[in-house]
């Protein structure tokens, strides 16, 4: 999936989502508790995101509009602001994973409880405002947003504080949206002309989009957009529009928004013609409004559709994967080239399009293999086996199936493994699996009839023509058996012992947990000795200081040294630094590894492409024994 920055540069239309607050209140949530929904009712929020995706939205806003510390205090609420925003972003990403199509998540940043630097009203200083916004930005980045929307703004000083807090930490795209009344100005008297002029002079450059939301119904909002359009065109700033479903009124003790989906949608072509690149909805709009907008704009250029698998694709894939090109097992590559494998997680739902698109992207960039997680972190995902098969049907690339003993008894796991072999899967990474207690189904029962060592023995037995009980299986499988190792384990003697047992059981290659310093692997090898089988080194390039802190403190098996953390602490966008560190790590360890196992941050493969290109340029001509 392309980045949001690239998508916004394309001459295409992106449909935004609709209201979250009014929709959640309609679902029975207390208005005073709306900022805490990501922590208290995550499933309700995720289902709302899914409704908008199914209606046609491809830009989702996090439920964080009033979640800054200033607003929470004014509402009498308390919460960990960083955690609240991280969870909101994760819930939106979860919904996107379930939906399976390309979509982008933008972190919603609303006004503070007071204006900023006002000459006539009690207000916050610029420094105080930036301090309120910093944890907001930190949480959204930790949750993996693709960009930010600074929305429902009424004054320029608040915009300046929010944008400064964002740009201190990130180079991701920013949308700034103002709320204009039907009279044509914000609550502090800012006109559309003044707003767009100020955005053209924003320190650090204008935002990627400027627009209008809330404040009024579709017709007054269209008027505000038209007033911004000439100067926006001069400044080459695309516009965005998120109208309310009309002016609200109290009907039978309930807030009622009168504009129907059909009426709101009739304004969409005019908004598009005025220069709006993103069109969605605000207060009172529902999934029906978004669906009507999407249908109205369908005759205009739309986002490219992800390639859909069908019978014709299967035939084409089979033609590509003829007898000469069909994958035969990853060990055929060792000794011929430096192997590059990329980890992809299956989707959270039934739609595999996004993971298939990612697989094609990394294969075209030069990846030799794609390894597929088996519901990692004990969270429910599409079957890893089904995902591996779908990828193999479309691409002549090796797939490495992660296979855990957590969810299957001894009989079931043997049946699935035999089925995998019948479907052409040859590479299996034998894992015990994360316990259910850390995932979505803490009450689920783990099986663990055997551990990863026992699973290696089962696979090796299949290769010898018999099952776990010694019964003949009518032939010999040809599994290439991989195992994991954690070079940074606290109990290094235990980790060494387990790897020895895995190798004795029949393992043919090793994949390590991600490491960040050559000393981490050297320390393990000093204790273990030379490895008798190929090693794929785990590498997960860091992208930010917040991500590094999260991985170091909350993800089992990953250790990031203080020296590396210090290098990221004051870097605005750490993507390039993370890639440089990964390249240097591979340079340092090239003599003891036979390949690399790349793990993308937030399931985004595009940042890995420069690293794959570097590997292919430097290592592809080098043979490994």
Torsion angle, CA of 548/549/552/556, rounded to 10 degrees? -100
- Counted residue by residue, the chain has a size of 625
CB 180 within 8 A of CB 212: yes
Neighbours of 539 (CB within 10 A): 24
Region of 484 on the Ramachandran plot (φ > 0 left; ψ -120 to 50 alpha; else beta): beta
CB 201 within 8 A of CB 239: no
At CA 38, angle to CA 32 and CA 42, rounded to 5? 115
**Residue 583 annotated as part of some ligand binding site:** no
Per DSSP, the chain holds a count of helices (H) and strands (E) of: 24, 18
| Closest-CA residue to 155 (of 180, 173, 138) | 180
Place of tokens 């316990």: 435
Rounded CA-CA distance 567/207 in Å is 28
In the chain, what is the straight-line distance between the N-terminal and C-terminal CA atoms, in Å?
A: 36
| Closest-CA residue to 600 (of 438, 433, 375, 371) | 371
Q: SS in 3 state form for 406-464?
A: CCCCHHHHHHHHHHHHHCCCCEEEEECCCCHHHCCCCCCCCCCCCCHHHHHHHHHHHHC
The partner residues of 240 in beta bridges, in order of sequence, read 211, 278
CB 163 within 8 A of CB 174: yes
- Sign of the C-alpha dihedral, residues 523, 528, 530, 531? negative
- Residue 468 Cα to chain centre, angstroms: 39
**Residue 283 annotated as part of some ligand binding site:** yes
The partner residues of 197 in beta bridges, in order of sequence, read none
Strands 249-251 and 254-256, how do they pair?
Answer: antiparallel
| Closest-CA residue to 513 (of 376, 393, 412, 421) | 376
Please tell me whether residue 364 adopts helix, strand or coil conformation.
helix
Backbone φ and ψ for 237, nearest 5 degrees, come out as -110, 115
Please tell me whether residue 41 adopts helix, strand or coil conformation.
coil
Please tell me whether residue 183 adopts helix, strand or coil conformation.
coil
At CA 416, angle to CA 415 and CA 417, rounded to 5? 90
CB 150 within 8 A of CB 119: no
Name the strands in the sheet holding 104-109, side by side, starting at the edge strand that comes first in the sequence: 14-15, 276-279, 239-242, 209-213, 174-178, 147-153, 104-109, 59-61
- Residue 84 Cα to chain centre, angstroms: 17
**Residue 282 annotated as part of some ligand binding site:** yes
Please report the DSSP string for 507-541 in residue order: --EEEEEE-SSHHHHHHHHHHH-S-SS-EEEEE--
Q: Specify binding-site residues for Zn(2+).
A: 214, 282-283
Binding site, annotated residues = 214, 282-283
């Amino acid at each position: 999936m392309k980045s949001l920055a690239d998508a916004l540069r394309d001459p295409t239309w992106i449909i935004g989502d609709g209201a979250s607050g009014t929709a959640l209140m309609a679902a029975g949530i207390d208005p005073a508790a709306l900022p805490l929904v990501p922590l208290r009712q995550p499933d309700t929020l995720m289902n709302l995101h899914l409704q908008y995706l199914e209606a046609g939205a491809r830009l989702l806003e996090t439920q964080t509009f009033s979640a800054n510390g200033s607003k929470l205090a004014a509402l009498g609420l308390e919460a960990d602001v960083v955690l609240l925003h991280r969870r909101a972003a994760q819930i939106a990403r979860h919904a996107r994973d379930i939906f399976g199509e390309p979509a982008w998540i933008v972190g919603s940043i609303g006004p503070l409880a007071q204006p900023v630097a006002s000459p006539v009203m009690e207000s916050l200083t610029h420094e105080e405002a930036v301090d309120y916004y910093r944890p907001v930005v930190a949480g959204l980045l930790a949750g993996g947003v693709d960009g930010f929307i600074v929305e429902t703004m009424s004054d320029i000083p608040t915009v300046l504080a929010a944008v400064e807090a964002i740009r201190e930490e990130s180079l991701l795209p920013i949308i700034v949206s103002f709320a204009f009344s039907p009279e044509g100005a914000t609550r502090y008297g800012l006109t559309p002309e003044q707003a767009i002029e100020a955005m053209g002079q924003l320190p650090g450059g204008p935002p990627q989009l400027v627009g209008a939301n809330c404040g009024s119904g579709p017709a007054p909002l269209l008027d505000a957009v038209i007033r911004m359009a000439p100067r926006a065109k001069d400044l080459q700033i695309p516009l965005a529009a998120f109208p309310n479903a009309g002016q609200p009124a109290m009907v039978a003790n309930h807030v009622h928004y009168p504009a129907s989906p059909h009426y709101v949608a009739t304004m969409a072509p005019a908004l598009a013609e005025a220069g709006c690149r993103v069109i969605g909805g605000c207060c009172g709009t529902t999934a029906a409004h978004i669906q009507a907008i999407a249908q109205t704009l369908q005759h205009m250029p739309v986002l490219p559709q992800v390639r859909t698998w069908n019978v014709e694709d299967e035939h084409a894939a089979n033609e590509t994967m003829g007898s000469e090109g069909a994958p035969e097992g990853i060990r055929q590559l060792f000794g011929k080239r430096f192997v590059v494998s990329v980890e992809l997680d299956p989707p959270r739902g039934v739609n595999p399009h996004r993971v298939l698109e990612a697989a094609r992207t990394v294969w075209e960039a030069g990846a030799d293999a794609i390894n597929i997680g088996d519901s990692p972190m004990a969270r429910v995902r599409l079957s890893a086996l089904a995902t591996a098969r779908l990828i193999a049907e479309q691409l002549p690339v090796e797939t490495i199936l992660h296979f855990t003993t957590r969810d299957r008894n001894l009989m079931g796991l043997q049946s699935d493994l035999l089925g995998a072999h019948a479907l052409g899967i040859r590479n299996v990474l034998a894992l015990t699996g994360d316990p259910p207690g850390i995932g979505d189904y803490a009450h689920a029962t783990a099986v663990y009839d055997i551990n990863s060592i026992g699973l290696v023995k089962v696979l090796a037995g299949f290769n010898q023509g018999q099952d776990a009980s010694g019964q003949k299986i009518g032939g010999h499988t040809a599994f290439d058996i991989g195992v994991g190792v954690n070079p940074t384990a606290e109990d290094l003697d235990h980790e060494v012992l387990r790897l020895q047992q895995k190798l004795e059981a029949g393992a043919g290659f090793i994949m390590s947990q991600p490491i960040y310093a050559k000393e981490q692997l050297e320390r393990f090898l000093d204790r273990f000795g030379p490895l008798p089988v190929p090693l794929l080194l785990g590498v997960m390039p860091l992208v930010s200081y917040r991500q590094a802190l999260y991985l170091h403190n909350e993800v089992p098996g990953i250790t990031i040294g203080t020296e590396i953390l210090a290098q990221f602490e004051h870097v605005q966008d750490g993507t390039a630094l993370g890639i440089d560190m990964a390249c240097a790590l591979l340079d340092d360890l090239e003599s003891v590894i036979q390949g690399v196992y790349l793990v993308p941050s937030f399931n985004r493969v595009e940042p890995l492409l420069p690293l794959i290109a570097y590997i292919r340029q430097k290592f592809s001509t080098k043979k490994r024994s």
